[in-house]
A = this chain, B = another copy of it.
Amino acid sequence: MLARIETANRDYANVARIPVPARSVSALANAFALMGAQMRYRQNSEIYGEAEPCEYLYEVVSGAVRTSKLLSDGRRLIDAFHLPGDIFGIESGDEHSFTAEAVADAKVRMVKLSALRGMAERDSDLAADLRKCVTAKLRATQDHMVLLGRKTAEERVAVFLLGMATISRTGGPVELPMSRQDIADYLGLTIETVSRTLTQLRNRSAIELPTARRITLCDRAALQRLDA
C-alpha cells in the first residue's frame, strides 16, 4: 500500500494509502519501463529478506506482495500490501527492515538502486520521483502507525476495506489476494477478530461477503464514519 504509478487522479479516501500521481513519477515509470528486469515469484516465496542489503527498487506488475517483520517470538506485523502499479523496496537505510514476499503469485519488475541513483544525479525529475517515493512511504507508515496505536478493531477493518476498494477501483466487489492471517497481521489483530468484525459489518449491511476473498462494500458512508 505504497506509492503507485497512477494514470488518473481519484479521491483518496484511504488514509493509509498515499499514491503518487502519475505525472510526478513518470521519470521513475520510464526507468522501470527501460531498465526493469522482470521476475516471477510463487505465492509465499521471498523477494528479499530483512537485514539484506537494499539493492533494488521494485514495481508490482501482477499479483500482490507483502512486506512484513517477524518478532522473535513469532508475532508478525505486515507493514504494507503492494498491488500492481505499486513501488516497493524503499527502505530506511542500506538494509531492508522488512521481508518482502509474494502474497499471491506475482510478477515484479526490478531496477538497481545504484543505477537509479546514478541517473538521478543527471535527471532531476527522477531524483524528485525517488524523493516522492520515500515521503509517500513515510506518510503511509505514519497513517498505519496511527491506525495501530489508536483505533478499534472495527475502525481498523473499515480502513482496510476502504483502502482495498480504493486500489481496485472497479465499482464492483473487492477481491482480496491475501488471507485473513495476512489481514490480521496488517491490522494488529487476530484472524478471529478480523473474521468477527467482518461478520458484524455484514450483519449491519455495511458489506457483503459472497466468498471469503470477495467483499462488496454496500454502505461506504458507514465505513467512512468508522475511519475516525
Binding site for B on A (CB under 8 A): 18, 69, 71-73, 75-77, 79, 91-93, 97-98, 131, 134-139, 141-142, 144-146, 148-150, 188, 228
Contact = CB atoms under 8 A, between A and B. Distances in A.
Contacts of A75: 150, 228
12 contacts: A18-B92, A71-B228, A72-B228, A73-B228, A75-B228, A77-B145, A77-B150, A91-B138, A92-B142, A93-B135, A97-B142, A148-B188
A51 to B, nearest CB: 13
A127 to B, nearest CB: 9
A71 B142 CA distance: 13
B188 A93 contact: no
A129 to B, nearest CB: 14
A136 B69 contact: no
A221 B92 CA distance: 27
A63 to B, nearest CB: 24
Contacts of A97: 139, 142
A138 B92 contact: yes
Given A79-B145, A144-B145, A188 B150 contact: yes
- Listed from nearest, the 5 A-B pairs whose CB atoms lie closest are A92-B139, A149-B188, A148-B149, A92-B138, A145-B145
A154 to B, nearest CB: 14
Contacts of A142: 79, 92, 97-98, 141
A34 to B, nearest CB: 24
